[in-house]
Structure 1
Amino acid sequence: MNGSAIENFSCVIYNIFFMNCTWQAGRDAPADTQYFLYWQKSRDEEERECELYIKDENWRNMGCIFQNVSIGIEKAYFLVNGSSKDSLIQFYDEYIDLYKIEKLMPPSNITVSCDEIKNDCIIQWQRPQISHSNKDMCFKYEINIKYKDNPKRKPIYTSIQEGGNSNIFLRSNTRKKYVLRMRAAGSACFVNPAWGEWSAPVEFGSEEIISSSIWILLGVAVATPLMAIVTIFFCKRTGCWKAAFPQIPGPKPDFFTLADTNPELMESKIQSISSENEEIVIVADLVR
């Protein structure tokens, strides 16, 4: 029956040994159509049916998960056929290079060591793990570096390197902290040429942080002498020193003049005070 074969068949290999294949039901397939997937890694191997199907809400097989998959140099053969009580179902088949559908993992064991004198940093890593090659020459790498405090801006350093497992990054600012990410793609051999997943961010470098308390102390240290200078200048202009610190008046000169010019009058006052004291004592005795 035309239009009953599956559509949009695709497969992806991930995490080295897992493969996930999905498809959609044929546009004209009966409602009771059920699909079955078979695949053959090479001509020398037997055809195997899917062991773990992915089902939709109608319990129809719409995908498959394979485990322990290894990639060879030959194209793998995939076959999806179907069955229905109402009519015959067309089959679908395709040959696929497995290495072309592998989603590469990021480089592993990424480390960054910086020389504080020369300001250069050595980036080192290990190639992504794949099941069919262990050669560094099979990969190319993209390195992406940004400032940590501004990750949304464009990278300050981007490098694409063929093979190898190290790179040198020259820091323009030793007081900044950096964030590095890497990803890999196939450069030769039977490795997928599409870029794989980005690695987790790797931080490196040192960042000088001035605490808020230090900023406060610096502000006080600058503001205090500045306020003193302004106050002195203001008081000189307005004469506020006289209002704030008035002079204490001394004794009147008449007191000293009286004692020096009229000694007889001073002696008379002293005798008067003495006689008054004697009268007070006599009155006190009479009262007793």
Structure 2
Amino acid sequence: MVAPLALIFMTQWMLLITQLCVGWHCTECMNGSAIENFSCVIYNVSLMNCTWQAGKDAPGDTQYFLYWQNSGYDDARECQLYIKDENGRNTGCRFQNVKIDTDKAYFLVNGSSKDSRIQFYDEYIKLYKIEKLMPPSNITVNCDEIKNDCIVQWQRPPISHSNKDKCFKYEINMKDKDNPEGKTKYTSIQEGGNSHTFQIFNTRKKYLLKMRTAGSACFMSPAWGEWSAPVEFGKEEIISSSVWILLVVAVATLLVAIITILFCKRTGCWKAAFPQIPEPKNAFCGLPDTNPELMESKIQSNTSENEEILLVADVVK
């Protein structure tokens, strides 16, 4: 059965090429009119995009058409959803419900123009090699503050042609939450499995962890896929927040005190609130002089004055 099917497949394509009347050996075809930079990518399990650029020497009215066959057992079919440029020219195709097979898929892009015949472009591609793997899903991180380690767990990304964990490898990347664009704190590549344990220096900080997937075996693409959305884990530093609160309160209190002192000194309320205490008088101030000579001279002076007063009084009588 294999030989007849292969013969039918080859016959179909030979008829198609003959009917289109194009080919690399077409002597009447314009050189440089075939498409350039043809590439395809499979994403989200079963979606595929193929793109190309018009030939550098193709006439301006050239229109391109894509035909493809997933395997030798499928019929050749034309693209159903073309991607067009601003001039309406086909520059790509979108495919849905693509099934990845281990056989090579065949792609052919031909063209038509009023001015000349257009060269065609064809290529065999292994679809699993152009698949862009999705990141793992349901990523969770749990940490042990006593052991200072964390375990990250995930589910392998869905693909249409394998269900074995050993077919995948994963890259794990971790950074500080407060500096997501800064230096990577931890990175590792995990072969297969769905969990990974790593040491962490400070479990009381916030971190961001992301993962991506590549094929390790099993007819899968070895290219890394897109990164997952960052997963946040860890705890905030309670001490640091308390310190900030105390610092703010202390600074605010100090500022209020300084402003109050300056205001009182300027308006005089400082003296009213804190009046000055008068100095104590000298307890010995005004006491009679204890010098004997001075005391005797003062007594004599007082006695003579008293005698004079008495004499004046007698005369008046």
TM-score (norm 2): 0.69
Q: Do the aligned partners of 2:143 and 2:203 also contact (CA within 8 Å) in 1?
A: no
Does residue 1:83 correspond to 2:115, yes or no?
no
Correspondent of 2:182 among 153, 157, 173 = 153
Does residue 1:175 correspond to 2:204, yes or no?
yes
Correspondent of 2:124 among 91, 95, 98 = 95
The one-letter code matched in structure 2 to 1:110 is I
The one-letter code matched in structure 2 to 1:210 is S
Residue 191 of structure 1: CA displacement? 0.9
Secondary structure class of the residue paired with 1:215: helix
For 1:203, the equivalent position in structure 2 comes to 232
Deviations 1:92-136 (A, max 9, x none): 110001011111111111000112222221100111111111111
For 1:61, the equivalent position in structure 2 comes to 90
- Residue correspondence of structure 1 range 1-288 to structure 2 within 5 A: 1=29, 2-208=31-237, 209-210=240-241, 212-217=244-249, 246-249=277-280
Secondary structure class of the residue paired with 1:210: helix
Deviations 1:170-210 (A, max 9, x none): 11112211111111110001110011111111111111141
Q: Give, in whole Å, the separation in 2 of the partners of 1:111 and 1:201.
A: 11
Alpha-carbon spacing, 1:23–1:254, altered in 2? closer, same or farther (3 Å): closer
Secondary structure class of the residue paired with 2:241: coil
Q: Give, in whole Å, the separation in 1 of the partners of 2:186 and 2:178.
A: 15
Gaps of 5+ in 2: 1-28, 255-274, 289-317
Secondary structure class of the residue paired with 2:117: coil
Secondary structure class of the residue paired with 2:249: helix
TM-score (norm 1): 0.76
For 2:292, the equivalent position in structure 1 comes to none
Q: Give, in whole Å, the separation in 1 of the partners of 2:179 and 2:84.
A: 44
Q: Give, in whole Å, the separation in 2 of the partners of 1:163 and 1:184.
A: 10
Deviations 1:52-76 (A, max 9, x none): 0011122111110001111011010
Q: Give, in whole Å, the separation in 1 of the partners of 2:149 and 2:55.
A: 59
Residue 150 of structure 1: CA displacement? 2.4
Aligned residues: 239
Residue 217 of structure 1: CA displacement? 3.5
Alpha-carbon spacing, 1:199–1:253, altered in 2? closer, same or farther (3 Å): same
Secondary structure class of the residue paired with 2:166: helix
Sequence identity of aligned pairs in percent?
Answer: 71
Gaps of 5+ in 1: 224-243, 258-288
The one-letter code matched in structure 1 to 2:241 is I
Deviations 1:26-60 (A, max 9, x none): 12212221111011000000011100001112211
The one-letter code matched in structure 2 to 1:37 is L
Q: Do the aligned partners of 2:81 and 2:95 also contact (CA within 8 Å) in 1?
A: yes
Q: Give, in whole Å, the separation in 1 of the partners of 2:203 and 2:84.
A: 55
Secondary structure class of the residue paired with 2:160: coil
For 2:266, the equivalent position in structure 1 comes to none
Secondary structure class of the residue paired with 1:150: coil
The one-letter code matched in structure 1 to 2:90 is N
Q: Give, in whole Å, the separation in 2 of the partners of 1:88 and 1:77.
A: 22
Q: Give, in whole Å, the separation in 1 of the partners of 2:126 and 2:108.
A: 15
